[in-house]
Every structure is written in structure tokens, then in C-alpha cells.
């Protein structure tokens, strides 16, 4: 059994107005040293598998098929033994 | 003459399904039926309508989960046979998620849900969805969405433009596609596109909401009369 920690991000070429708005809010709160803010998604799930590479393949397939849209998003993940 | 049949797909969270049904059944006067998204077949429908709404609560991404509803396999098959599919608003989002249309609909540039009438210019009136319009005709049609910002990579955008797949564009009062006339930040002011074969249309504005004067206008009716013409070869006699 593994736990997968997945991060889905907007691709760098895509404007992130939400991130921009949050960054501006931070700056208005005097966090002027914080910049380049972008918003993504955090997903965690359990993976029923005994072999690490099998778990990895499953998570990768799930990301490619549903969890991320390759037109606008990139994803990365970590697997932890649970 | 036998009437054509529209199938309006109903997902959990669809909320423009009845508007679409009314437009094609009562205003256009053709046959129509609702198709629950769990259905494994489309029956004998000629045209599939994927209506607006918030299918699956827009969870994950708009259209991402509904794209895998059982009926979508049949919708993809229907489209692959060259038959007609129209996705309006959430339906457009579902079509991009399903890969039947290129690109994606991102969060509106303003971050606001935009609900108002916009002007659309008919960029291509040689499709099954627009033959009853004049080229360059400007229509007034409402939009109502938070994620309608059409995006695609530069190469795909170039192909869409070169192949005249851009069908509707947001324009101003002078018919020009200005930034101010763009309600959501869409690339090239794109409001609606067809696939390469021209049998699948996706558009963010709601033509089904402007099909009779009682609703404030009938600029959207042409989409449905065009489809009738494409399917049955009947040119409408109404003015």
C-alpha cells in the first residue's frame, strides 16, 4: 500500500489570474518580498499495490487520464509507503 | 415530412437542458428527448446537445468528470460517424475535455462569473450550425460562465484560424473583436469553434436562450434552423 501525493499545476505558459490576485493581496499586507505566486491543486490518495513501479504506473495513468488536463496543466507526484 | 430528432443529454448538474429542449421542441418544432447521462445508447437522435450547467459541480475541472459518463462513449461514436453534436457552455467544456474539440476553457481572466448579453460575429457561415446566418452577421446572445476563457497552444490556434474553425467571435458594437468586447479573456476573442470535420460545435454563449421574442430576442434560433437545414434539407419558412 502506498500513499500518493499529487500536485497539479497550470502550465508555466498559462496566465494565472487567481495567483496574481492572491499575490496582490499579500503585497497589500506588506509581504512585498513574496512574488511569483501560482495556484495549483493538491490531491492525495491511497494506492493498493505491492510493487512500487506498479503503483507509479497507476498514479501516472490516473493523472494523465483524469486528474490533470495536459492542454493546460502539468502534474507531479510522490509515492510514500503507507 | 418526418421530423428530425434532437437528444439533450442530462448530467447531474445540467441546468440549461430544459432551455435547449424548449428551443428545439417548442420553438423549432422538431422532436426532442432527454438522454440521461447513464444511458448506454443515443437511440435515433440526429443531433446531440450537451447543455449548459455545472455537471458534477464543476469538480476537478469543468466537464472533467462528465466527460467519462457512460453516454459520452456514444456521443464520441456519433461524432466519429460525422453526425452532429453541439456543446453549449458546460457542453463546450465537456467537448474539450473529451477531446472532440481542441483547447480548454480556463477561468475567466476577470475571475468573475460573467452573466450578460454579448455580441458575436459569425466568422464562418458555411457550417451545419451557421448556414442560416450571413457571414459577418453580428448576433446578440447571452453568456453565463466563470470558466469560458478559451485557450490553446499557438500551433493549434493557427490551425483553427487557417481552417476557418473559429465560428463565433466576441465583438464590440462596431463588429470588431476588441479586448473590451471579450468577456473572459479568450484567445483571439474566440466564442465558438467547430472540429476539423465541421460536425461538432462548441460555444460558450447560449443560443438556446434567445430563440423567441418573449426571451428578448431570437438571434440564437439560426443555430437550430441551420441544423435542421443540414439534417433535413428544409429551409425554414418562418421570417
For residue B184, the distance in angstroms to the closest alpha carbon of chain A comes to 11
Residue B176 annotated as catalytic: no
pLDDT reported for residue B2 = 80
Owning domain of residue A58: 2-81
The residue of chain A nearest to residue B109, with distances taken between CA atoms, is A17
Mean pLDDT of chain B: 96
Listed in sequence order, the DSSP H helices in chain A are 17-28, 52-62
Chain B contact set for A14 (CB, 8 A):
106, 151
pLDDT reported for residue B235 = 54
For residue B180, the distance in angstroms to the closest alpha carbon of chain A comes to 17
For residue A18, the distance in angstroms to the closest alpha carbon of chain B comes to 7
- Residue A68 sits in a domain whose CATH number is 3.30.1280.10
Catalytic residue among B89, B97, B123, B145: B89
Return the ∠ at Cα B101 (arms to B98 and B102), rounded to 5°.
105
pLDDT reported for residue B239 = 43
Percent of chain B surpassing pLDDT 70:
97
- Give the residue from B111, B86, B91, B103 showing the smallest Cα distance to B183: B111
* CATH architecture of the domain with residue range B5-232: 3-Layer(aba) Sandwich (3.40)
pLDDT reported for residue B1 = 66
- Quick one: chain B helix, strand, coil %, rounded to 5? 30, 25, 45
pLDDT reported for residue B234 = 62
- For residue B83, with 0-12 CB atoms within 10 Å meaning exposed, 13-18 middle and 19 or more buried, which class applies? middle
Please write the tens of the pLDDT for every residue from A32-82. 999 999 999 999 999 999 999 999 999 999 999 999 999 999 999 999 998
Q: Are B166 and B123 in contact (CB under 8 A)?
A: yes
Chain A contact set for B61 (CB, 8 A):
69
Please write the tens of the pLDDT for every residue from B213-228. 999 999 999 999 999 9
- Give the residue from A60, A80, A56 showing the smallest Cα distance to A70: A60
Please write the tens of the pLDDT for every residue from B154-179. 999 999 999 999 999 999 999 999 99
The residue of chain A nearest to residue B106, with distances taken between CA atoms, is A72
Residue B74 annotated as catalytic: no
Chain B contact set for A66 (CB, 8 A):
60, 64-65, 68
- Check CB contact of B97 with chain A, cutoff 8 Å: yes
Which residue among B64, B111, B153 places its CB closest to the CB of A21?
Answer: B111
Chain A contact set for B185 (CB, 8 A):
15, 17
pLDDT reported for residue A82 = 86
Chain A contact set for B107 (CB, 8 A):
17-18
Please write the tens of the pLDDT for every residue from B130-163. 999 999 999 999 999 999 999 999 999 999 999 9
Please write the tens of the pLDDT for every residue from B63-91. 999 999 999 999 999 999 999 999 999 99
Which residue among A13, A18, A66 places its CB closest to the CB of B111?
Answer: A18
Q: What is the mean pLDDT of residues B170-193?
A: 98
pLDDT surpassing 90 at residue B186: yes
- Check CB contact of B163 with chain A, cutoff 8 Å: no
For residue B159, the surrounding DSSP H or E stretch is: helix B154-162
- Check CB contact of B207 with chain A, cutoff 8 Å: no
Q: In what order do the strands lie in the sheet with A73-81?
A: A40-47, A2-10, A73-81
Domain ranges of chain B: 5-232
- The tally of domains found in chain A comes to 1
Residue B208 annotated as catalytic: yes
Bridge partner list, A43:
A6
Residues 6 or more apart whose CB falls under 8 angstroms from that of A41 comprise A7, A8, A9
Work out whether the CA dihedral B134, B136, B140, B143 comes out positive or negative: positive
Amino acid at each position: 500500500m502506498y500513499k500518493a501525493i499529487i500536485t497539479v499545476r497550470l502550465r508555466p505558459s498559462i496566465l494565472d489570474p487567481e495567483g496574481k490576485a492572491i499575490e496582490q493581496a499579500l503585497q497589500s499586507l506588506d509581504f512585498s518580498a513574496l512574488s511569483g505566486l501560482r495556484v495549483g491543486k493538491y490531491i492525495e490518495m491511497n494506492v493498493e499495490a505491492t510493487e512500487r513501479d506498479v503503483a507509479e504506473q497507476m498514479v501516472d495513468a490516473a493523472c494523465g487520464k483524469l486528474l490533470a488536463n495536459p492542454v493546460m496543466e502539468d502534474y507531479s507526484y510522490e509515492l510514500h509507503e503507507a | 415530412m418526418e421530423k428530425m430528432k434532437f437528444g439533450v443529454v442530462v448530467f447531474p448538474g445540467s441546468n440549461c437542458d430544459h432551455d435547449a429542449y424548449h428551443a428545439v421542441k417548442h420553438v423549432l418544432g422538431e422532436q426532442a428527448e432527454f438522454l440521461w447521462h447513464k444511458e448506454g445508447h443515443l437511440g435515433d437522435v440526429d443531433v446531440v446537445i450537451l447543455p449548459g450547467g455545472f455537471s458534477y459541480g464543476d469538480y476537478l475541472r469543468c466537464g472533467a468528470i462528465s466527460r467519462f459518463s457512460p453516454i459520452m462513449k456514444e456521443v464520441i461514436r456519433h461524432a466519429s460517424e460525422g453526425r452532429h453534436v453541439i456543446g453549449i457552455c458546460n457542453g463546450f467544456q465537456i467537448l474539450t475535455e473529451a477531446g472532440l474539440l481542441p483547447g480548454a476553457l480556463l477561468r475567466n481572466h476577470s475571475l468573475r462569473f460573467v452573466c450578460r448579453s454579448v455580441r458575436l460575429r459569425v466568422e464562418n457561415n458555411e457550417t451545419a450550425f451557421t448556414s442560416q446566418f450571413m457571414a459577418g452577421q453580428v448576433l446578440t446572445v447571452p453568456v453565463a460562465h466563470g470558466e469560458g476563457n478559451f485557450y490553446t497552444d499557438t500551433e493549434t490556434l493557427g490551425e483553427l484560424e487557417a481552417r476557418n474553425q473559429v465560428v463565433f467571435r466576441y465583438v464590440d458594437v462596431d463588429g470588431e473583436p476588441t479586448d473590451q468586447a471579450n468577456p473572459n479573456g479568450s484567445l483571439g476573442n474566440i466564442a465558438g469553434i467547430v472540429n476539423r470535420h465541421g460536425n461538432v460545435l462548441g460555444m460558450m454563449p447560449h443560443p438556446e436562450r434567445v430563440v423567441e421574442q418573449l426571451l428578448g430576442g431570437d438571434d440564437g434560433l439560426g443555430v437550430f434552423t441551420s441544423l435542421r437545414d443540414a439534417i433535413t434539407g428544409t429551409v425554414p419558412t418562418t421570417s
